[in-house]
Amino acid sequence: MTAPAAAGLPADEIVRALLREDLRDQTAYGAPQLDVPAALNTNENSYPVPADVVADMLAELARTLPGLNRYPDREFTALRRALASYLSRSGTVIGADQVWAGNGSNEALLHLFQAFGGHGRRAIGFTPSYSMHSIIAGTTATPWVAGTRSADPGRLFTLDPESVAAQVESAHPNLVFICSPNNPTGTAVGLDVIEAAYAAAPGAVVVVDEAYAEFARPGTPSALTLLPGRERLVVTRTMSKAFALAGGRLGFLAADPALTAALRLVRMPYHLSAPTQAIAVAALRHTDTMLATVGVIKEQRDRIAHELAVTGYHPVPSDANFVLFGGLADATATWAALLERGVLVRDVQIPHHLRVTAGTPEETTAFLEALAALGPRHQAVVPAAEGA
C-alpha cells in the first residue's frame, strides 16, 4: 500500500500508513511496571543478587571495561562453555557447540523464527501459553496456529501425546513450541508429549521452552534428556528467573551443533555485549549461590496454592515460580482491587483467572491477606475449566 502524502496529516497517521499492514492494529507487549509494595506480576525472582556474586561481577567488569574499544567475542566462547557446564549438571552432557545465547531468551526465540520461520512457513503452540511465541511469529511474518490444551477439570491446561500429535499433524508446521513448565499455567508435560510432537512433525524444529525448569517439582523431566539423536529438537532456558538475573538479559538454548551453527546466519554481529557476557560468566561461577533461593520460592508457591484451595479458589498445579488460580467472579476487577492494596499480580486474559508470582514470605503474606480482605464477593462458583 502506498503511503498518503504527508502534508497536513498527523504524524500517527503517517506512521500508520508506512507501517506493515499486519502490525497496524497490534499493541506492544509489556506488563505493568509499577512501584508497589508487592510486585508479583512478571515472575521475577524477588531476591537480590547476593553481595559476593555482585563483587565478582564487578571484578569481571573491571577486567572487561577497558577493552570496550574492541568488539566483544562474537562467539561468546567463555559464556558458552559456562552454560554448557551448567546444563550438563542435569546429567545430560551438553557441549559448548550445542549452546546458543541471546539478550534474554526472547532473542534466542527470535533467532529460531528468523532461521526456520517466515513467510510461507507456519508455527504452532498450545494456548494458553507464553504470548511472546505468537508475538514473535507475527513480527517475523510467520503464520501462527493456536493449538489447544485440555479443558477437562481434572486435567485442566494439560497436554497429552495423542492430542498434540493430531494437532501437529493437522497444522503441518515448520516450528512447534511447547512450554514445560507452561506459562501462564505452570503445568509441565511428560517427555512422551515432546516425543509425540517430534514424531508428528518430521519437517519441523520442535522447541521446548523450559524457562522455569529449575522450579519444577521432583521427578519432573527435562527435555535435555531427549537431545541426543534428535537434530531438530531445541531446549530453551533463561537466567532471568531462577538465577535472579532478569535485568542481565541472558537467555540460551541447547540443540544439535548443526542447528546452533545455523543461527549464526540470522544473529546481528556481536549481538552479546562484553558486559553482558562478563556478568553472566561471573553469575555462573556462583551457580549454587544464585540458585539458593529456588527452594524457598517453591515453598511459597506451594503455600499460595494450598491457601488458595482452602479459601475456595482453584489453583492450577504448578511446576513454576507462580500460581494460576481461578474461581474469580471478575478477574479484572480483582486485579484492580488487589492493586489498590499494593499487590500487583498478572491478568493473563483467561476468564475468572489471575496469575501470582511466588515471592518472599512477606510478599506471599501480603497477597494472601489482600485477597482475603476482598471477601467472598470476588469469588464465583465457576467450573475450573471455564475460559480454558
Give the span between the Cα atoms of 322 and 216, in whole angstroms: 11
| pLDDT tens-digit series, residues 100-116 | 999 999 999 999 999 99
Q: How confident is the model at residue 271 (pLDDT cuts 50, 70, 90)?
A: very high
Cell of 366: 501480603
Pick from 164-173, 234-243, 244-253, 373-382: least confident: 373-382
Q: Are the C-beta atoms of 283 and 178 separated by less than 8 Å? A: no
pTM over 0.85: yes
27 pLDDT higher than 90: no
Helix/strand/coil for 235: strand
Nearest to 146, CA basis, from 13, 138, 154, 101:
138
Nearest CA-CA partner of 136 in 271, 274, 266: 266
How many Å apart are CA 102 and CA 272, to the nearest integer? 7
Cα–Cα nearest to 83, from 295, 287, 288, 271: 287
pLDDT, average across residues 209-235: 97
Is beta strand 251-255 parallel, antiparallel or unpaired with respect to 99-102?
A: antiparallel
Look at residue 386 and tell me whether its pLDDT is greater than 70: no
| Domain coordinates in residue numbering, the chain | 30-47+293-378, 51-287
What pLDDT, on a 0 to 100 scale, did the predictor assign at position 388? Answer: 36
The CA angle 286-87-209, to the nearest 5 degrees, is 115
Cβ contacts of 5 within 8 Å, gap of 6 or more: none
Q: What is the CATH number of domain 51-287?
A: 3.40.640.10
30-47+293-378 falls under which CATH superfamily?
Aspartate Aminotransferase, domain 1 (3.90.1150.10)
Closest alpha carbon to 53 in 362, 383, 341, 290: 290
Q: SS3 breakdown of the chain: % helix, strand, coil, rounded to 5?
A: 45, 15, 45
**Contact present, 14 and 7 (Cβ < 8 Å):** no
Q: What is the mean pLDDT of the chain?
A: 95
Between the alpha carbon of residue 273 and those of residues 241, 250, 268, the distances in Å are 21, 11, 11
C-alpha cell at 260: 546452533
Instruction: For residue 300, give the DSSP letter.
Output: H
For the chain, the C-alpha Rg in angstroms (whole number) is 22
